[in-house]
Amino acid sequence: MMGRRPGRLYAAVMLMLLLCALAGCDVQGRTEPSLLIKDAPGEGEPVTLRYSSYLLDTAQAGKVYFDAIAEFERLHPGIKIEADFIQNNNYTAGIKIRLLGGERVDVFDTWSPSLFEEFRALRSDMYLDLTGAEFLKEFYPNSLLPVTIDGRVYGAPEVMHSDGLLYNKTLFDELGLAVPRTWDEFLALCLKLKEAGVIPVAMDAEWSTAQFFWGSIMSDNGADAAWTKQLESGEVAISDPVFVDAIKKHREIIDRGLVPPNWKSLKHEQAKDLVGAGRAAMIITGTWDIPSIKERNPAQDIRFMMVPGSVRTVPNINVGTYRVISSRTEHPEEAKQFVAFMNGRATQEKLAAGALAVPSVISAPTDRSDSVSSIAAAVTREDATLYWPHTVSTESLQVKILEGVNQYLAGQPLETALAGIQQAIDEAAAKRRAAR
The pLDDT tens digits of the residues spanning 194-227 come to 999 999 999 999 999 999 999 999 999 999 989 9
Instruction: Please give the C-alpha separations between residue 204 and each of 222, 243, 306, 406, in angstroms, as whole numbers.
Output: 26, 21, 19, 11
- Give dist(CA 46, CA 198) in Å, integer: 60
Q: In Å, how far from its chain's centre is CA 39?
A: 41
Q: How confident is the model at residue 42 (pLDDT cuts 50, 70, 90)?
A: very low
Interhelix angle 225-233/414-435, rounded to 10 degrees, is 80
- What pLDDT, on a 0 to 100 scale, did the predictor assign at position 368? 66
| Stretch among 99-103, 255-259, 271-275, 326-330 having the lowest mean pLDDT | 99-103
Mean local confidence (pLDDT), 348-365? 86
Inter-residue contact 203 to 260 (CB < 8 Å): yes
Q: Quick one: CA torsion of 278, 282, 288, 291, rounded to 10 degrees?
A: 10
Mean local confidence (pLDDT), 29-45? 39
CB within 8 Å of 398: residues ≥ 6 apart: 112, 114, 389, 390, 392
Q: How confident is the model at residue 282 (pLDDT cuts 50, 70, 90)?
A: very high
3-state secondary structure of 130: coil
Largest CA distance in the chain: 89
Q: Is the dihedral of CA 149, 212, 385, 371 positive or negative?
A: positive
Inter-residue contact 49 to 107 (CB < 8 Å): yes
- Give dist(CA 348, CA 365) in Å, integer: 10
- Give dist(CA 360, CA 153) in Å, integer: 15
- What pLDDT, on a 0 to 100 scale, did the predictor assign at position 108? 97
Mind listing the pLDDT tens digit for each residue in 381-400? 888 888 899 899 888 999 99
Residue 260 pLDDT exceeds 90: yes
Mean local confidence (pLDDT), 106-135? 93
- Give dist(CA 249, CA 185) in Å, integer: 13
Long-range contacts, stretch 138-141, CB < 8 angstroms, 24+ apart: 138/344, 138/345, 138/361, 138/362, 138/363, 139/360, 139/361, 139/362, 140/360, 140/362, 140/380
CB within 8 Å of 179: residues ≥ 6 apart: 167, 172, 305
Interhelix angle 345-355/64-75, rounded to 10 degrees, is 170
Q: Which residue has the higher pLDDT, 414 or 292?
A: 414
Q: Quick one: CA torsion of 293, 295, 299, 302, rounded to 10 degrees?
A: 30
Mean local confidence (pLDDT), 222-235? 95
Mind listing the pLDDT tens digit for each residue in 127-169? 999 999 999 999 988 889 889 999 999 999 999 999 999 999 9
Burial bucket for residue 83 (CB in 10 Å: 0-12, 13-18, 19+): middle
Inter-residue contact 9 to 15 (CB < 8 Å): no
Q: How confident is the model at residue 61 (pLDDT cuts 50, 70, 90)?
A: low
Residues present in the chain in total: 436
3-state secondary structure of 139: strand
Mean local confidence (pLDDT), 262-284? 97
Mean local confidence (pLDDT), 302-325? 93
Instruction: Please give the C-alpha separations between residue 206 and each of 268, 340, 399, in angstroms, as whole numbers.
Output: 6, 35, 13
CB within 8 Å of 186: residues ≥ 6 apart: 180, 307, 308
- Alpha helix stretches (DSSP H) within 390-413: 395-409
Q: How confident is the model at residue 351 (pLDDT cuts 50, 70, 90)?
A: confident
Share of the chain above pLDDT 70, in %: 88
Q: How confident is the model at residue 45 (pLDDT cuts 50, 70, 90)?
A: confident
What is the pLDDT of the chain when averaged over all its residues? 87
Residue 34 pLDDT exceeds 70: no
Mean local confidence (pLDDT), 163-186? 96
- What pLDDT, on a 0 to 100 scale, did the predictor assign at position 35? 27
Which residue segments constitute the domains of the chain, with CATH numbers given? Answer: 47-160+319-386 (3.40.190.10), 163-314+394-435 (3.40.190.10)
Inter-residue contact 228 to 385 (CB < 8 Å): no
- What pLDDT, on a 0 to 100 scale, did the predictor assign at position 309? 96
Inter-residue contact 352 to 360 (CB < 8 Å): no
Mind listing the pLDDT tens digit for each residue in 74-98? 999 999 999 999 988 899 999 999 9
Residue 342 pLDDT exceeds 90: yes
Strand order in the sheet with 302-305: 199-202, 280-286, 163-168, 302-305
Residue 22 pLDDT exceeds 50: no
Q: How confident is the model at residue 235 (pLDDT cuts 50, 70, 90)?
A: very high
Q: Which residue, 243, 288, 302, 256, is CA-closest to 379? A: 288
Q: Which residue has the higher pLDDT, 73 or 30?
A: 73
